Chains A and B, each alone.
Chain A
Amino acid sequence: MLFNFIAIHPATILVREEEQAVLMFTLAYFLGISLGYKTSDKFSPALQQILLPILFIIQICMIIGLPDIAIILQKFWTFWMADGYEISNSTMIVTEIVTLILLVICGTSVYAVFLPRIIQSQKLSFKKFYSIEISGSLTGLLLIPIIGTFSHSLLLTAYFIIMLILYFSAGINRTVLVMLTVIASFFIFQFDYLDKKLSTYYYQNKHNPYSYYKVEYIEYTPYHKIEVLLNKDLKRKLFLNGRIQFGENSHQSYSYYLSEYPASLLTFPNVCVLGCGSMSSVGRIGDLSEKIQIVDIDESVFNTSKKYFGKFNRLDELNNWQFQADDAKHYMANTTDRYDLILHDIPPANTRQTALTYTREFFSTVEQNLTEDGIFSISSLRSLRTEKTAYTKRLVATLTSIFDNYFILEMRNKIFFYGVTKDFSLPDKESLIQAISFKKRKNINVLMKDEIDALVQGEEVITINNLRRLIYE
Chain B
Amino acid sequence: MNRHLVAQKSNTFSVSVFAFSAGVYFAVLQFAYFFLLEAYLTSRSISFFIALFFWLIGFLIGLNLQGHQIQRWIFPLSILGYYVFYFVNVMFPFKTFTLAFLAICIVISGLYPGYFFVMYNSKFDKIKNFFYIENNGFIIGIIFSYFGSIFAGNLFIKFFPFVAFGFAFLAQLAPNTKSVDERL
Whether, in the assembled complex, A234 has its beta carbon less than 8 Å from a beta carbon of chain B, the answer is no
Q: Are B128 and A117 in contact (CB under 8 A)?
A: yes
Give the residue of B45, B136, B143, B154 whose beta carbon is less than 8 angstroms from that of A464.
Answer: B154
Q: Are B127 and A116 in contact (CB under 8 A)?
A: yes
Question: Known contacts A112-B131, A120-B127, A126-B127: does B43 contact A297 (CB below 8 Å)?
Answer: yes
Q: Are A352 and B150 in contact (CB under 8 A)?
A: yes
Contacts of B127 in A (CB 8 A): 116, 119-120, 126
A351-363: contact bitstring with B at CB < 8 Å (1 yes, 0 no)? 0110010000000
Q: Are B135 and A334 in contact (CB under 8 A)?
A: no
Q: Are A134 and B126 in contact (CB under 8 A)?
A: no
Q: Are A466 and B153 in contact (CB under 8 A)?
A: yes
Q: Are B44 and A326 in contact (CB under 8 A)?
A: yes
Closest Cβ of chain B to A473, distance in Å, is 12
Contacts of B38 in A (CB 8 A): 352-353, 356
Q: Are B43 and A353 in contact (CB under 8 A)?
A: yes
6 pairs of residues in contact across A and B, judged by CB atoms under 8 Å:
A23-B142, A26-B142, A30-B139, A116-B127, A465-B155, A467-B150
Q: Are A333 and B94 in contact (CB under 8 A)?
A: yes
Q: Are B60 and A138 in contact (CB under 8 A)?
A: yes
Closest Cβ of chain B to A4, distance in Å, is 10
Q: Are B57 and A222 in contact (CB under 8 A)?
A: no
Contacts of A330 in B (CB 8 A): 41-44, 94, 96
Q: Are B43 and A127 in contact (CB under 8 A)?
A: no
Closest Cβ of chain A to B37, distance in Å, is 10
Whether, in the assembled complex, B63 has its beta carbon less than 8 Å from a beta carbon of chain A, the answer is yes
Whether, in the assembled complex, A189 has its beta carbon less than 8 Å from a beta carbon of chain B, the answer is no
Number of interface residues of B (CB under 8 A): 46
Question: Known contacts A23-B146, A37-B132: does B153 contact A141 (CB below 8 Å)?
Answer: no
Contacts of A40 in B (CB 8 A): 128
Determine the residue in chain A with the shortest Cβ distance to B143.
A27
Whether, in the assembled complex, A144 has its beta carbon less than 8 Å from a beta carbon of chain B, the answer is yes
Number of interface residues of A (CB under 8 A): 50
**CB proximity to B under 8 Å, residues A212-229:** 222-223
**CB proximity to A under 8 Å, residues B35-52:** 35, 38-39, 41-46, 49, 52
What is the CA–CA distance of A138 and B110 in the complex, to the nearest angstrom? 13
Whether, in the assembled complex, A468 has its beta carbon less than 8 Å from a beta carbon of chain B, the answer is yes
Closest Cβ of chain B to A419, distance in Å, is 21
Closest Cβ of chain A to B143, distance in Å, is 7
Determine the residue in chain A with the shortest Cβ distance to B59.
A134
What is the CA–CA distance of A463 and B117 in the complex, to the nearest angstrom? 38
Q: Are B135 and A37 in contact (CB under 8 A)?
A: yes
Contacts of A141 in B (CB 8 A): 49, 52-53, 56
What is the CA–CA distance of A135 and B56 in the complex, to the nearest angstrom? 8
Contacts of B142 in A (CB 8 A): 23, 26-27, 30
What is the CA–CA distance of A429 and B143 in the complex, to the nearest angstrom? 49
What is the CA–CA distance of A80 and B35 in the complex, to the nearest angstrom? 45
Q: Are A135 and B52 in contact (CB under 8 A)?
A: no
Whether, in the assembled complex, A389 has its beta carbon less than 8 Å from a beta carbon of chain B, the answer is no
Q: Are B135 and A34 in contact (CB under 8 A)?
A: yes
Contacts of B45 in A (CB 8 A): 145, 222-223
